[in-house]
Amino acid sequence: MTNQEILYSESISIRNLPTNFNHADLRLFEHELKKSIPATTLLHFVDFSINTSGIIFCGSKVLPESFPDPRFLDDWGGLKAKLKIGVINLLLKHHKMIDRDVFWITDTWSKNYFHWTTDALTRLFTIREKIKNKTLLLPGAYSRLEYVRSSLKPFFIREVQYLHETFRCKKLIMPTHTAISGNYNENVIRGLRSLYADYYENACSDRSYNKVYISRGKAQIRKITNEEECIAIMEEYGFKTIYFEDHSFEQQIAIALDAQYMISNHGGGLTNILFMKSGSSVLELRQSGDSHNNCYFSLASALYLKYYYQLCQSENPDEDAHTANLIVDCRRLRKNIEQILAN
């Protein structure tokens, strides 16, 4: 492996406090207010293999670049994993060789909508001019994801090849992550927003999505327990309820481009604030005490959005913030909506 080119230099991300910040909540945000963002470098690998899950390996060695964080490599250090790789290597002579230059942008988290959009597509953005006449490799399962296929259109890549079996690659080219997941190289994330805004500026929309509530009512976890009551209040102020899983990627972008105000609890739907215009407002309904899930706070700051938050009790106080359902204080919700609309 060789490092041949720095695509984006190291930078510092300075985040603005929420617009409705309460000093009593400082501990939720203080560790996120200044972050060092590493340089993004173009890596070249020679004669490596990739399996259908996106694990990159050479011999019995798994590359840490297969994962969102090198610490995940420890899961592949056991005997069972090494035996599995050994069997794969014994069979490599029967596997196809890709003898042309190919690009790789994913890790083991990238299939998730948030991680695909903010982690994988940001890496793709850094090589957008280099890849147009080349081949992008993706794990086979990604071929079934509409948002993956549609989100690649603005890059005008000559060929996207999905891996349904293990391949050997004569030369694999990979940009490193643009930031630790949940953080952002601000030049990259703003550039990505501009790329999609320009490409989808004429996307079909009835231009009636100025105020949007993104519901997780159809999700399995992190729902709003008293959602009907919340929706009734939001409708008083002109908010429309949207289930993003019912919309194509293009439709989601069109809605976000129209939206001046967006409300939701923590979840994949909030990823679409990426496509909102600078100066728009987002209200995130968060679990009280959760100082970890700040990815949307950081994203809003990087994109010059007005970020508001409301702390909510969980249905089960002992449940982890990644899965807990929330109970929203409707009186406070009404006050927050009025503050958002007044600013």
What confidence tens digit (pLDDT) does each residue in 131-169 have? Answer: 999 999 999 999 999 999 999 999 999 999 999 988 889
Instruction: Return the closest-CA partner of residue 103 out of 187, 153, 42, 167.
Output: 42
Class of domain 211-342: alpha beta
Tens digit of pLDDT per residue, the chain (343 long)?
655 799 999 999 999 999 999 999 999 999 999 999 999 999 999 988 898 889 898 766 888 899 998 888 776 655 455 545 554 554 444 567 888 899 999 999 999 999 999 999 999 999 999 999 999 999 999 999 999 999 999 999 999 999 998 888 999 999 999 999 999 999 999 999 999 999 988 765 555 789 999 999 998 899 999 999 999 999 999 999 999 999 999 999 999 999 999 999 999 999 999 999 999 999 999 999 999 999 999 999 999 999 999 999 998 877 777 788 999 999 999 999 999 999 8
Return all residues near 296 (Cβ < 8 A) that are at least 6 apart: 266, 270, 273, 282, 284, 307
Which runs of E-coded beta strand occur in the chain? 2-8, 11-14, 34-37, 40-50, 56-58, 61-62, 97-104, 135-139, 159-163, 167-175, 211-214, 240-242, 261-265, 281-287, 306-314, 326-327
Paired tokens of 294: 């700040």
Q: What are phi and psi of 154, to 5 degrees?
A: -65, -10
For tokens 């231009």, the residue is 207
Say if residues 88 and 49 touch (Cβ distance below 8 Å): yes
State both tokens at 318.
Answer: 């002992």
User: Which residues lie below 8 Å from residue 107, measured CB to CB, with a gap of 6+?
Assistant: 54, 65, 66, 67, 68, 115, 119, 120, 177
Q: Inter-axis angle of helices 186-199 and 295-302, to 10 degrees?
A: 70
CB 231 within 8 A of CB 211: no
Tokens standing for residue 266:
């923590």
Residue 12 corresponds to which amino acid? I
Distances (CA, A) of 156 to 88, 119, 172: 34, 19, 20
> Which residue(s) pair with 265 in the sheet?
285
pTM of the predicted structure, to 2 decimals: 0.93
DSSP 315: S
What single DSSP character describes residue 64? G
Task: Give domain limits for the chain.
Answer: 39-178, 211-342
Angstrom CA distances, 41 to 101, 138, 174, 182, stand at 17, 20, 8, 19
